[in-house]
A and B are shown apart, each in its own frame.
Chain A
Amino acid sequence: MSRKIALSAVAAAALLSLAACGGADDADSTGGAVTLRYAMWDEVQKPPIEQSIREFEKAHPTIKVQIELNNWNDYWSKLQTQLAGRSAPDVFWDHVSYFPKFSKEGVLTDLAPLIAQDKVDTSIYDSKLSEGWKVDGKVYGLPKDWDTIGLFYSTKALKDAGLTPADLDGLTWNPGDGGTFVKTLQKLTVDENGKHPDEAGFDPKKVKQYGLAMQAPTGQQDWWNFALQNGCTLQDKPWGRWTIDQPACVQAIQFVQDLRLKYHVAVPATVTNPPNGPSLDQVVGRGEAATAMDGSWMLRAFDTALPSGGFGVADLPAGPVGKGSVYNGLTEAVYAGTKHPKEAWELLKWLTSEHHQKAVAQAGSVWPGITSLNDVFADAWKAKGVDVTGFKKAAEGTTMGYPLTEAADVYNVKALDIFNQVWLGQLSPQDAAQKINTEANAAIK
């Protein structure tokens, strides 16, 4: 039964993609209108982008844009299959972890000649963002946005525990006893009898509300931050080998496991493990956790899941070597095999223009790639009573980017599987780190 289904699905997909190609060509020859495909993975960000794209279509009557939305997991397997089948979307979101592979395979359009030709001013983008996408004078994308990780909290949960947002400032953790971070999370963790984890009679099996929720398919929103704060580097150098089996890294992984299994202050992995666990805005929204470590791109989701004024954002705690957050940015990229390079470039220019990014920032979607618009984003949230400047402070402080590696596929697939097991307590942090390190390094050629 399944093979038949799989076969027919493949056949149907093949037919559909043929039909899709045919469709685009037909549009070319008949109406003179070109249909561009634009691929993304975040549903939360889609509405304001879609709105701006309708404007783009009005300004460019010969271009239609079709948005293709797939969640993070499906996005990459689909995009890469499409790239192999030479039917990739014309314009798509690109991520640092896949950039090395893509630039090497030549599937991205070099924008440098186009930028020169149209005299596009690239100095408006944060150089920290745009520099990473240049290889040997070639430019493979223009900045879409940036993000850091913060500690989202429920104002109600804080109040119920007799805490104020200021109590979340200046927290520290260490691998030994967890520090003030764990102490605070203990206050925010309550079992059904109203007991906290540091009290006698606390029942870890009947917890009503946990102090913290964590969820990260790669590590970006959880242990990478603790790793950075503990002096761990994920790689020996950019484009180099993975080094997550080093003690400072293993301690960070151990700490995340401890938050769940030793201190009982974090929501168990049986609830939060990706890809099936509910997103953290839901976990906090339901009142199952008081705080959550999550990315700035999740602001709109938290705003929806919690009542007005129901949440705020605090800084991540500081570790043994200080503060720090993972910093990342996406680009808009043009597929090298696009049949409509001119139109795709027009769309890319729109998406990376001040006009578009301002609209997206005003909607509070993501921090914009254009530096001067950061205040627009901050003000949009200030108007809603949420202070998001912590994300910006984090970006200006010690940060760690996504590892640059050709083995991102292997790391991402293995990390999902292996860290699921670590958080469940089925695998030790040391074994997990060694396993991922070995397998990801074996994939580097």
Chain B
Amino acid sequence: MIDNITYDGSVRGHRRAEHRLRARVRTVAEAYALLAPSLAGFLLFLVAPIFGVAALSLFDWNLMGAPSFVGLDNYRELAADPEVWRAVLNTIYYVVLNIPAQTVLALLLALALNRRMRGGKALRVVFVLPWMAMPVALGIIWSWVFDPRYGVVNQVLGTVGIDGPNWLTDPAWAMPVIASVNVWQYTGYTMLILLAGLQAIPHTLYEAAAIDGTTPVQRFFTITLPLLRPSLFFVLVTNTIGSFQIFDTVFVMTQGGPGGATDVLNFHIYQQGFQLFRSGYASALAMVLFALILLVTAAQFLYFRKRTVYDFS
């Protein structure tokens, strides 16, 4: 009682705090309850396998017999394996072919579609359609398109007197073909994100700049590009990560060939794991890919962090 009188306010304060805490606990609990299914999935299907792969990379295991612990042997072997380096270079080559082309094309498309025009919405849908299609099915269809004898590409080239190359069996062409298929497939998606970014830029900025007598080109470089950074950052990071993991198109169209010209890291991992059944070595390679992506993503974060403005108001 006395306490009650003396510390009336505080107690009430305590109660309020307690109440708030309880409410908070409840909200958090609710949040977790709602998150639980996806969290469980995340832990079970993503986090656990990552640790599993990290552990497996220290073993020698053909999936059938008992795994034997080999320490860092797998890593030592891959460091000395020229095919691993070829796969790393092939992967980087693919990323270099893919990302700039895809980003620039998507940006141009987004700029073109960022205006009111007849059929603009329909066009947006058309550009996004490839992204929604199945990569494996697309790979098969593109293989037909690039067939040296019966494919559309060489037939069209033939009509203008060009003898088209053997796209998928010529080592010089195989990778550019793979890259162009993926550029075609993912440009629409990238365009969509950039378009959203463009539409978030306040129009008043352009009006003010126009009054100041700037040219459209100046406006693009001083307003559009800087303010589009968050979106560009997002597409560059996610697309680069995705590109490093290229697998499906290679698997369907070239199987890493001809002569290893499209043997990218992820395909090499598959080959070691599921054709040669060296799951430990394949896991070690997967860790290398992981580290490679982590490095590149970290570099992108560092580069963009300093220069990105998120708040336009």
Which A residues are within 8 Å of any B CB, using their own CB? 1-3, 5-7, 11, 73, 76-77, 80-81, 83-84, 105, 107, 269-278, 286, 409-410, 413, 416-418, 420-421, 424, 426-427
Contacts and interface: CB of A to CB of B under 8 A. Distances in A.
A1 B245 contact: yes
A417 B247 contact: no
A73 B255 contact: yes
B275 A77 contact: yes
Interface string B179-200: 0000000100000000000000
Given A73-B255, A105-B64, 14 more contacts: A1-B242, A1-B245, A2-B246, A2-B266, A5-B135, A6-B248, A77-B275, A81-B274, A84-B63, A273-B258, A273-B259, A278-B149, A413-B275, A416-B257
Contact of A276 (B186, B247, B258): B258
Contacts of B245: 1-3, 6
Contact of A6 (B168, B171, B247): B247
A273 B257 contact: yes
A277 B171 CA distance: 13
Interface string B224-265: 000000000000000000100111100001111111100100
A409 B258 contact: no
Given A5-B248, A417-B263, A420-B258, A270 B277 contact: no
* Interface SS, A side: helix
Interface of B: 45-46, 62-65, 135, 143, 148-149, 165-166, 168-171, 186, 242, 245-248, 253-260, 263, 266, 271, 274-277
Contacts of B46: 7
B64 A271 contact: no
Contact of A270 (B135, B169, B246, B271): B169
B258 A424 contact: yes
A278 B246 CA distance: 25
Contacts of B246: 2
Given A76-B275, A276-B169, A286-B149, A2 B258 contact: no
B38 to A, nearest CB: 14
A7 B248 CA distance: 12
A267 to B, nearest CB: 11
Contacts of B170: 270
17 contacts: A2-B242, A2-B247, A6-B245, A6-B266, A80-B274, A84-B64, A105-B65, A270-B166, A270-B258, A271-B166, A272-B169, A276-B143, A409-B276, A413-B276, A416-B257, A420-B257, A424-B258
A303 B168 CA distance: 27
Contact of B259 (A11, A105, A409, A426): A426
A275 B186 contact: no
Contacts of B257: 273-276, 416-417, 420
B248 A276 contact: no
Contact of A426 (B62, B171, B186, B274): B171
A76 B245 CA distance: 24
B225 to A, nearest CB: 26
Contacts of A77: 274-275
Contacts of B275: 76-77, 409, 413
A421 B259 contact: yes
A426 B172 CA distance: 12
Given A77-B274, A413-B271, A277 B169 contact: yes
B259 A84 contact: no
A73 B275 CA distance: 9
Contacts of A2: 135, 242, 245-248, 266
